[in-house]
Structure 1
Amino acid sequence: MKNVTRFLLAVGLGLTLFSAVGSADPSKGGKIIDKLLMRSGGCPIPASRVAMAHSVAEWAKIYKEGKMEEEIQKLCHKKEPLPKITNKKYAKDVYDYLSTYAYDSGGVPA
């Protein structure tokens, strides 16, 4: 009985520690948008206003269709291509930021 309890405690602790590693980070997504869009002169509006342009469900649909860059380009009113922000390395963080601070999410960027 004592060994089973220790084993279950170890498994629970292990799952707790490793579950946060694979999740996306909204603050990282906001920094990516700010760095690659605003500072490069590509977009005149702040990342928070880009996020508030759609609801959570709309951003989810845009993300699943792979059209985040196109949508952000439309929101920035730019005809020339913007810097790549949604490659595989950054896409989940950018999406997490956009959905966390969408107009119906209740989130307020700091």
Structure 2
Amino acid sequence: MKRIASIIFAALLGASFISTAAFASADKGQKIYQKKLKKVCGFNGAKFAAKHTQDEWEEINEAGKFEDEIQKLCPKYKKGYLKPSQLKHIYDFAYEYASDSGNVPSC
């Protein structure tokens, strides 16, 4: 019985580490920004994210205008260049490092 309990505990502990890594989409967004948008925008990710506050980024995203905002900030950006899943990660990155967040990305 004690052995089964230890196996279950170890499995739950392992699953918690996996799920934490799976939700680290701000990190994925930073990598996508560096790879796909940095050249298109002409400035680094810190400047991009700091263009708005967290509340402003949230409003833009909820209104379905996030890709339009990227195009406004980065005139060379063409709609459809990023996949919807990539846009979600870029949004998480922008929200995490917004001007009022106090966080500074390393890109």
Report the TM-score when normalising by structure 1: 0.72
Residue number among 75, 84, 107 corresponding to 2:81 in the alignment: 84
- How far apart are 1:80 and its partner, in Å? 6.7
Q: Deviations over 1:80-102 (max 9, x none)?
A: 735622x2331232112101110
Match of 2:91 in 1: 95
Match of 1:54 in 2: 52
Residues 10 and 27 of structure 1: CA distance in aligned 2, closer, same or farther (over 3 Å)? closer
- CA–CA separation in structure 2 for the residues paired with 1:43 and 1:82: 13
Point out where structure 1 has 5 or more consecutive residues left out of the alignment: none
Point out where structure 2 has 5 or more consecutive residues left out of the alignment: none
- CA–CA separation in structure 2 for the residues paired with 1:80 and 1:31: 17
The reply to whether residue 26 of structure 1 matches residue 30 of structure 2 is no
What code does the residue aligned with 2:57 have?
W
Secondary structure at the aligned position of 1:53 is classed as coil
- How far apart are 1:14 and its partner, in Å? 4.5
Aligned residues: 106
Secondary structure at the aligned position of 2:84 is classed as coil
- Higher relative helix content: 2
- Aligned-residue Cα RMSD (Å) equals 2.6
- How far apart are 1:103 and its partner, in Å? 0.4
- How far apart are 1:48 and its partner, in Å? 1.4
Match of 2:103 in 1: 107
Report the TM-score when normalising by structure 2: 0.74
- The share of aligned pairs that are identical, in percent, is 37
